[in-house]
Copies of this chain bind each other. A is one copy, B any other.
Amino acid sequence: MARTTIYDVASAAGVATSTVSRAFSRPGRVSAVTRERIMRVAAELDYRPNPHARALLSGKHQTVAMVVSDITNPHYFELIRGAEMRARVSEYTLLLVNAEESPRVEWEQIQRLSPAVDGFLLAASRLPDENLQQVAAQRPVVLISRELPGLASVVLDHGEGCRQIVAHLASLGHRDLVYLAGPRNSWMAATRWAALQSAAEQVGMGVRRIGPFTPKATQGGAAADGAVNDGATAVVAHNDLLAIGVMQRLSQRGIRVPEDVSVVGFDDIFAADVCTPGLTTLGGAHVDVGRAAVELLLTAGSRTADDQPRVVLPTALVLRRSTGNAPTTRPRRSRGSQRSAS
Contacts and interface: CB of A to CB of B under 8 A. Distances in A.
A14 B122 CA distance: 38
A50 interface: yes
Contact of A56 (B48, B53, B109): B53
B274 A244 contact: yes
A51 interface: yes
B116 A116 contact: yes
A107 to B, nearest CB: 12
Given A72-B80, A111-B48, A137-B1, A97 B96 contact: yes
B96 A96 contact: yes
A115 to B, nearest CB: 5
Interface string A270-307: 11001110000000000000000000000000000000
A111 B72 CA distance: 27
A205 interface: no
How many copies altogether? 2
A127 to B, nearest CB: 17
Interface string A248-280: 100000000000000000000011001110000
B96 A98 contact: yes
A81 B72 CA distance: 8
Nearest to A112: B93
Q: Is the interface of A mostly helix, strand, loop or mixed?
A: helix
Contacts of A72: 74, 77, 80-81
A37 interface: no
Interface in A195-221: 217
Contact of A1 (B81, B138, B276): B138
Nearest to A71: B80
Nearest to A245: B274
Nearest to A65: B95
A55 interface: yes
30 contacts: A1-B138, A3-B138, A48-B115, A51-B112, A51-B115, A52-B52, A52-B116, A71-B77, A71-B80, A72-B80, A72-B81, A80-B98, A84-B98, A84-B100, A88-B105, A93-B97, A93-B112, A93-B113, A94-B97, A95-B95, A96-B97, A116-B116, A217-B270, A217-B274, A270-B271, A271-B271, A271-B274, A274-B274, A275-B276, A276-B276
Interface of A: 1, 3, 48, 50-53, 55-56, 71-72, 74, 77, 80-81, 84, 88, 93-98, 100, 105, 109, 111-116, 137-138, 217, 244, 248, 270-271, 274-276
